[in-house]
Structure 1
Amino acid sequence: MNRLIALGFALLLGFGATAHATEYKIDTAGAHAFIQFKIKHLGYSWLYGRFDEFEGRFNYDPKKPEASSVEVTINTASINSAHAERDKHLRGKDFLEVDKYPKATFKSTSFTPKGDGKAELKGTLTLHGVSREITIDVTEIGGGKDPWGGYRQGFHGTTEFALKDFGIDYNLGPASRTVQLILDVEGIAQNMM
């Protein structure tokens, strides 16, 4: 019986620890969140683009940031490099194969504060049918009340990875093997505690 009571208290304490985290919905409807990328073009210049359609949520408690979590789903067909023919190529078999892999996802596994508003976010990125752990360098931009009676929290993140790690092996030259992601996320609180 004592073990059952101890287990009950442990569960209650566990729920109590997470009950103060605020859940945020990423504000894509108001265009206050961006998933952008850049990759060298033949080693001569930078090519920039973005994904226009994605959704996600994150949990964040400034008093316990290490308990933070993030989940994002991206519509891969929404890739936009401001050039229709190039975007058609990027959606095709040489790159994203969006008919076969219409979604990319990210699910965090850890959030490690580094001080001074910096943190390291690790998680599993699934892209082009391949799942791998990536690390995102995060900077807290800020949080507070908005003019509409809500509460918002924003972060900036960067990461880079080799396209080949996700089964994308189209030869753009040795300078174009890695892609950099630039992530700017503003969330709207769903459950202020």
Structure 2
Amino acid sequence: MIKKTMSALVLTLGLGAGIAQADTHGGEYAFDTQGQHQFIMFKISHLGYSWLYGRFNEFDGQFTFDEGNPENSSVSVTVQTDSIDSNHAERDKHLRSDDYLDVDKFPEATFKSTRIETTGDRTAKVHGDLTLHGVTREVTLDMTQIGYGEDPWGGYRMGFAGSVEIEPANFGMELDLGPTAEKLELILSVEGIKQ
């Protein structure tokens, strides 16, 4: 009888611990700006001959992950547009000018989710408002949860990656890179630290 009672107690405690562990990754997360475990990159065709890649070096954000109802999760991102880096100083100067990003007038670009639609165990379509060059448009990011868990420094982390294709002309920007450059792909990879 004592053996059965002890076994039941151990089983109950084990299940409880499993549930508690499963619940640990829900909550609010801040982007890891200190460790720079985050990237916003872009990819656009150059005259139809090659891909031009670049990134934004300075951005911040946060997300809330609702484990029980992932559709109730949310994310917001703020990008410093003058941090654009395409590995070419003169081109970056041109991209920052009023011909394109006009960073003096529009120093920030933002994304704020409005709705999340789960598409799989770790995938979702994140619908939201992208404000770029002073223009706000609804876009949809295809996102994948990469992983989550305790880090070596006593914190708890979760990471996501995803992308969205936009048309710069829809945001009032005409990129002079040829007719094949009508679309630009934004690629996001972030690691959040639970708060």
TM range (shorter): 0.7 to 0.9
Counterpart for residue 89 of structure 1: 94
Distance 1:25 1:158 in 2: 20
RMSD: 1.1
Distance 1:93 1:170 in 2: 12
Counterpart for residue 10 of structure 1: none
SS in structure 1 of the partner of residue 45 of structure 2: strand
Partner amino acid, structure 1, of 2:166: F
* Farther off after superposition, 54-63 or 157-166: 54-63
Counterpart for residue 109 of structure 1: 114
2:29 corresponds to 1:24: yes
Counterpart for residue 160 of structure 1: 165
Q: Of residues 62, 76, 84 in structure 2, which corresponds to 1:79? A: 84
Structure 1 residue 171: deviation in Å? Answer: 3.2
Counterpart for residue 67 of structure 1: 72
Counterpart for residue 181 of structure 2: 176
Distance 1:61 1:145 in 2: 18
Counterpart for residue 53 of structure 2: 48
Alpha-carbon deviations, 1:67-108, whole Å to 9, x = none?
110111100000001110010010011110000100001100
Q: Which of the pair has more CA radius of gyration?
A: 2
Distance 1:137 1:176 in 2: 21
Which residues of structure 2 form unaligned runs of 5+?
1-24
Counterpart for residue 145 of structure 2: 140
Q: Which runs of 4+ in 1 moved over 3 A?
A: none
Paired residue total: 171
Structure 1 residue 44: deviation in Å? Answer: 0.5
Q: TM-score, normalised by structure 2?
A: 0.85
Structure 1 residue 177: deviation in Å? Answer: 1.0
Alpha-carbon deviations, 1:91-137, whole Å to 9, x = none?
01111000010000110001111113110000000000000000000
Distance 2:174 2:71 in 1: 36
Alpha-carbon deviations, 1:19-57, whole Å to 9, x = none?
x95110011221101000000001100000000001111
Q: Of residues 75, 82, 105 in structure 2, which corresponds to 1:100? A: 105
Partner amino acid, structure 2, of 1:55: D
Determine what percentage of the aligned residue pairs are the same residue.
60
